């Protein structure tokens, strides 16, 4: 019988630490609910001591979700552990995850502590956490650069102190797969009480080996893998959840393991995380990239048409990527639209959500001849990014050309009434952003701007992502439209609304 591997998702903690990513409570809840549908075993919901917003996000997830274990990260200090417990104590299945660095370089330069001090602190803080919560995970940060004998002592000590899970992080993505596999085997062979705890691994992708290292660890006895959707995370990111899960499923002949993941929810989860974090996927991203199941070569096309397995080792349907033959347009009725939603996996929407989506579909169908699956996905996912609209875009008008100075006039609606302003810029989008800034009387610091086509064709939906900075925090706005200036204006206003909502 295949061994069960537990999937620990840290998209909402390590993933949110990606530069430029800032999720609000509503967005965290939306991702959390989707991770629950996906079937992850553990959700690391955040780092509660980091900020009030992070605390509230963790608390909301702990009190809302019922199936996964909900864990919060805490340094091995009482204040962090108390704050983590306060955030997750309402969870049906809570876990405290505490950590301290154990490598010589971290102990000397970051902690300025001796190995004995670190060992004693690890043990005492695990005991303290276990006094609060029956499920405690401990991570020796930078474990892969920690002296082996000391690492064994720390692991043995924290298990005796009550740790139920011991996580071995490759914090800087330093190890080769055979090295990391051997490390896990050595821990199993040299820590006398290791059978009393679950061995977990947390691999970073600095050398592009996070997934390979995670699989090597599984082969050597690890039974929990910490990962993120789309591999997001600090620096080069983490092991990608979808790659680990599909490697186990696709190569069951070689990897005699199983997970609880509903793989048909992978694509939808990936797209949701991409949209809400503003971190777009490279086309050749394994499993979920737009080219993952695309075939351009004549030889490949002929092979796939003859038999799909000639060039596809997994099917698009296995990750929830369904392409229906039914064409939707402005004459399509509600029944056909609802049927398409079911085919795409959107079975949990209530009547109000379907009504709103159908209204948006009809508006879009008037602008496009054919509405594609990705258009529908974009419509549905807009609901997850809405915040109270302090400002609402009423209209915009631009004048632009290669021999003209671009100008834009915008009208916004707010509590005070309607605001109208005009501005010039280096292009129509720059002019529109400046006009919006004038109308709101806000000094907006634009950090980043991107635009991409969600679908193909001249009438494709464009998705704009805007990042603005205020008081050191980044706020991400998104907008979707067949008109790129409108999509950009919507994204800019959305970012402003999120900033005002978050900062009060």
Non-local CB neighbours of 12 within 8 Å, separated by 6+ positions:
23, 28, 31, 32, 43, 44, 45, 46, 57, 61
Q: Are 72 and 46 in contact (CB under 8 A)?
A: yes
Q: Phi/psi at 291 (nearest 5 deg)? A: -95, 0
Position 38 scores a pLDDT of 98
| pLDDT tens column, 58-98 | 999 999 999 999 999 999 999 999 999 999 999 999 999 99
In angstroms and rounded to an integer, the radius of gyration of the C-alpha atoms of the chain is 25
> How far is the C-alpha of 133 from the C-alpha of 76, rounded, in Å?
15
Q: Which pLDDT value is given to residue 352?
A: 84
Q: What is the pLDDT of residue 304?
A: 44
- Give the per-residue pLDDT at 325: 45
* Neighbour count for residue 259 (Cβ, 10 Å): 21
pLDDT the model gives residue 25? 92
pLDDT tens digits in sequence order for the chain, 504 residues long? 899 999 999 999 999 999 888 898 999 999 999 999 999 999 999 999 999 999 999 999 999 999 999 999 999 999 999 999 999 999 999 999 999 999 999 999 999 999 999 999 999 999 999 999 999 999 999 999 999 999 999 999 999 999 999 999 999 999 999 999 999 999 999 999 999 999 999 999 999 999 999 999 999 999 999 999 999 999 999 999 999 999 999 999 999 999 999 999 999 999 999 988 989 899 899 999 888 876 444 444 445 455 566 657 888 889 987 754 445 676 777 887 888 777 776 777 788 888 888 888 887 777 766 777 777 777 776 654 567 889 999 999 999 998 889 999 999 999 989 999 999 999 999 999 999 999 999 999 999 999 988 766 666 778 899 999 988 888 888 888 889 999 999 999 999 999 998 887
Count of all residues that appear for the chain in the document: 504
Residues 6+ apart with CB under 8 A from 267: 288, 319, 320, 321
Distance CA 431, CA 429 (A): 5
97's tokens: 């995850």
Count other C-beta atoms under 10 Å from residue 133's C-beta. Answer: 21
Q: How many CB atoms lie within 10 A of CB 53?
A: 16
**CA angle 130-131-134, nearest 5°?**
50
Say what the pLDDT of residue 34 is. 96
pTM of the model: 0.81
Beta-carbon contacts of 374 under 8 Å, excluding residues fewer than 6 positions away, are 454, 455, 461
Tokens of 278: 């503003």
Tell me what pLDDT residue 373 has: 74
* H-helix or E-strand spanning residue 96: strand 94-101
**Strand-pair partners of 421:** 410
pLDDT for 166 equals: 98
Question: Pick from 467, 383, 21: which is nearest to 229 by CA?
Answer: 21
Rounded CA separation 404/408 (Å): 12
Measured from the Cβ of residue 145, the count of other Cβ atoms closer than 10 Å reads: 18
d(CA 41, CA 357): 31
Q: Nearest Cα to 496, choosing from 251, 353, 488?
A: 488
Per-residue pLDDT at 369: 66
Are the CB atoms for 146 and 172 separated by under 8 Å?
Answer: no
Residues 392, 493: contact at Cβ < 8 Å? yes
* Model pLDDT, residue 126: 98
Return the pLDDT at 241: 98
DSSP for 21-62 reads ----HHHHHHHHHHHHHHT-SEEEEE-GGG-HHHHHHHHHHH
């Amino acid at each position: 019988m295949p061994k069960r591997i537990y999937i620990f998702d840290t998209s909402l903690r390590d993933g949110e630490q990606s530069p430029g990513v800032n999720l609000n409570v509503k967005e965290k809840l939306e991702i959390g609910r989707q991770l629950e549908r996906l079937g992850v075993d553990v959700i690391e919901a955040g780092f509660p001591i980091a900020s009030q917003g992070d605390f509230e996000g963790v608390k909301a997830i702990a009190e809302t979700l019922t199936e996964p274990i909900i864990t919060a990260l805490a340094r091995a200090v009482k204040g962090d552990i108390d704050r983590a417990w306060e955030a997750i104590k309402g969870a049906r299945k809570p876990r405290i995850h505490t950590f301290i660095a154990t490598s010589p370089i971290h102990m000397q330069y970051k902690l300025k502590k001796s190995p004995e001090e670190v060992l004693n602190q690890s043990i005492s803080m695990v005991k303290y956490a276990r006094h609060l919560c029956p499920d405690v995970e401990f991570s020796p940060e930078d474990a892969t650069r920690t002296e082996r004998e000391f690492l064994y002592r720390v692991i043995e000590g924290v298990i005796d102190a009550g740790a139920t899970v011991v996580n071995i992080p490759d914090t800087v993505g330093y190890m080769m797969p055979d090295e990391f596999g051997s490390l896990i085997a050595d821990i199993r062979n040299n820590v006398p009480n290791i059978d009393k705890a679950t061995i977990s691994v947390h691999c970073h992708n600095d050398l592009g080996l996070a997934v390979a290292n995670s699989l090597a660890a599984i082969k050597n006895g690890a039974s929990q893998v910490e990962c993120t959707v789309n591999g997001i995370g600090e620096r080069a990111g983490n092991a990608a959840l979808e790659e680990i899960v599909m490697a186990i499923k696709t190569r069951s002949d070689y990897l005699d393991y199983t997970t609880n993941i509903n793989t048909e929810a992978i694509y939808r989860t990936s797209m949701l995380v991409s949209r809400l974090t503003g971190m777009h996927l490279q086309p050749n991203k394994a499993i979920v990239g737009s080219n993952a199941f695309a075939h351009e070569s004549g030889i490949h096309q002929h092979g796939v048409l003859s038999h799909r397995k000639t060039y596809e080792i997994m099917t698009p349907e296995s990750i929830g990527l369904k392409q229906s033959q039914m064409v939707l347009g402005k004459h399509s009725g509600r029944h056909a639209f609802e049927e398409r939603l079911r085919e795409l996996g959107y079975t949990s929407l209530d009547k109000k959500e379907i009504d709103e989506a159908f209204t948006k579909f009809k508006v879009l169908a008037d602008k496009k001849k054919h509405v594609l699956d990705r258009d529908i996905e974009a419509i549905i996912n807009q609901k997850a990014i809405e915040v109270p609209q302090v400002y609402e875009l009423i209209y915009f008008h631009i004048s632009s050309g290669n021999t003209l100075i671009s100008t834009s006039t915008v009208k916004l609606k707010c509590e005070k009434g309607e605001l109208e302003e005009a501005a010039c810029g280096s292009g129509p989008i720059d002019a529109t952003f400046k006009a919006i800034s004038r109308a709101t009387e806000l000094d907006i610091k634009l950090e980043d701007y991107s635009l991409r086509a969600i679908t193909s064709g001249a009438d494709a939906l464009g998705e704009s992502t805007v990042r603005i900075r205020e008081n050191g925090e980044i706020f991400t706005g998104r907008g979707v439209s067949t008109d790129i200036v409108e999509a950009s204006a919507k994204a800019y206003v959305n970012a402003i609304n999120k900033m005002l909502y978050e900062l009060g």
